[in-house]
Every structure is written in structure tokens, then in C-alpha cells.
Amino acid sequence: MGVIAVTGATGQVGRRVAERLAGTRDDAQPVVQRLLVRDPKAMASAAGREVVGVQGYADTEGMRAALEGADDLFLVSGRESADRVAEHRAAIDAAVAAGVRRVVYLSFLGAAPDATFTFARDHWATEQHLAASGLRWTALRDSLYHAAWPAFVGDDLTIRGPAGDGRVASVGHGDVSDVVVGVLLAGDAYDGQVLDVTGPTALTVAEVADTVGRVTGRPVRYAPESLDEAYASRAGYGAPDWEVTGWVTSYAAIAAGELDVVSDTVERVMGRPPQDLETWLRAHPETWRHLVRR
């Protein structure tokens, strides 16, 4: 096992990946990590791991220097931006220039050039660049995070969006991170593969609202919107058009059935089932405590 570079270690997935890799005990092949972060001061603890500051994915030269000597790279998709595909391409180019051998990329379910969810088109373009890079690669297409649901509940305890009666099998950050680590440590077992990473059950948004309500003890409900209503209800947030379109189309992709996928990836890679939404919510009250106070 050589040096594994991990991006996004100040975030939800990257932090867990780094912690789990650090907890991996294999004296014959110790895991050596290098964490590439934009703000090293934001790292709570990185004992025994090298932390390298980088400006961001768009800084190809800085990324190349930071990746010098690394064998594997876990590349977290960056924060949504108008230039995200260019940023991801630059990071992949930096990996090639630095001599990295393999990239494991965190993509999104249903990535396709014509995906209803516009941000999923970014992921498809990134996957294409990776596949053409000459590097060994694996793309992990995660579903919506369980953590997103309590955050989507409005002040009136309502989840509003144009999701119709479509279904989605959201997944916990922990399960996604476990799969990332499992793939990183599995040698070439998942090379050239695109793996969907989902929870165990596909729920409608009405069922999600019921679940959040049951766990929080609050009357959470789902109010379906038309596309026009969805754009109108988000117009006052002051966000750029590309971002509002991403928010609205994430629900529209559910309505279109594009996120109605239940995969066996967690089971296959980790040998155990993924956590369902209710179990996950009960284990993470910090994600919904704000709803109880409302």
C-alpha cells in the first residue's frame, strides 16, 4: 500500500474516509495518508497524517505539487459552482501530471449527459475525463444523503419540491465513506467500475416526510410543487440561476424516476447492509434537533 491522498477531509465524507483509513490496522501494509485541504486550520485532528494546504481543484500546479509521490487519490466532488467540471478536470490533470496511479471519484447517482438533475451532468463529464485520463479509476455514484432531508424541511415543517410520487433511496454519509475506504483498500478489484451507492429502501418524499416526522415527533409533511412553483418559491434566495436550477432539478429527477435505484454496493463492498433513513436519523439527532425547537 502506497500513499493515499484524500481530498475534502474538512467535509462530511472526506473526514470520515480519513478517519477510517487512519483506523485501518495492517502492520504489513500500513496506510499512509496525505490530506489535501484548502484550510489546514479547519482540520480538528490529523494525528499521524500529513496535511497539505492547496488552493483548490482549479489550481492544477498546486494540486500537482501536493500529489507528488501519491499512489491513489480519493477525489471528492467539489462544492457546486458554475465551473465545477473545469475544476474537476484540473484536479484529474494534476493527478496525471503527478504520477498518481488511481483515482476514486465521488460522483452522483444517475450521472448522464442529459440527466434531469443538472449537477449530475457535471459528474458525468468528470467521469468521462477520468476514464480518458489513462489513470486507473472507480466512480462511486452516491444517492442523496440521508442528512439532506432534515435540512430540506422548511420553517413550516414542510418539504416542498417538484418530486411528484417519485422515489429515492437516500444513503448515510457513513455508508458512503465505508464504501470509499473499502474500494481504496481493495487493490484493483473495482478498477474501471461505476458503482451506485444507495440506501436499502426507495421512499417517496411523502414517505420521507412521514419518517422525519416519526423520528422528530413533529408534523412534517411533503407539499408537491409544479416546476414553475418550485422556481418561484426559490426565486427570493438570491442564488444564481445555475444553482436554483440544480436545487429544483434534484427534485425533478426524483419525479422522473432517475433516482429510483436500490443498489447492493454497500453489501457487496462492506459485507453488511446500508442503514435505512429512520435508523440513520435516530442515530444522528444533531441533524434534526432544529426541527424540534421550532
53 in contact with ligand NAP (CB under 6 A): no
Helix (H, G, I), strand (E, B) or coil at 132: coil
Complex with ligand NAP: residue 1 or 40, whichever CB lies closer: 40
Quick note: the x/- pattern for ligand NAP over 151-180, rule CB under 6 A, is: ------------------------------
Q: How many residues bind ligand NAP (CB under 6 A)?
A: 23
117, 123 contact by CB (below 8 A)? no
60: number of Cβ within 10 Å: 17
Residue 144 Cβ, how far from ligand NAP at the closest point, in Å?
4
87 in contact with ligand NAP (CB under 6 A): yes
Residue 110 Cβ, how far from ligand NAP at the closest point, in Å?
11
Complex with ligand NAP: residue 42 or 82, whichever CB lies closer: 42
CA-CA distances (angstroms) from residue 5 to 51, 68, 117, 128, 209? 10, 10, 29, 21, 38
60 in contact with ligand NAP (CB under 6 A): no
Stretch 61-80 residues interacting with ligand NAP (CB under 6 A): 76-79
Residue 33 host element (H or E)? strand 32-37
Q: From CA 263, how far away is CA 183, in angstroms rounded?
A: 16
Q: From CA 43, how far away is CA 18, in angstroms rounded?
A: 11
Residue 108 Cβ, how far from ligand NAP at the closest point, in Å?
6
Written as nine digits, the cell of 179 is: 464504501
Residue 26 Cβ, how far from ligand NAP at the closest point, in Å?
25
Nearest of 106, 174, 168, 171 to residue 140 by alpha carbon: 106
Q: From CA 7, how far away is CA 59, in angstroms rounded?
A: 14
Residue 170 Cβ, how far from ligand NAP at the closest point, in Å?
7
Q: Nearest residue to ligand NAP, using CB?
A: 11
205 in contact with ligand NAP (CB under 6 A): no
12 in contact with ligand NAP (CB under 6 A): yes
Nearest of 138, 13, 100 to residue 92 by alpha carbon: 100
Helix (H, G, I), strand (E, B) or coil at 265: helix
Stretch 100-119 residues interacting with ligand NAP (CB under 6 A): 106, 108
Residue 50 host element (H or E)? strand 50-53
39 in contact with ligand NAP (CB under 6 A): yes
Complex with ligand NAP: residue 83 or 188, whichever CB lies closer: 83
Give contact residues for ligand NAP (rule: CB under 6 A): 7-8, 10-14, 38-39, 42, 56-57, 76-79, 87, 106, 108, 142, 144-145, 148
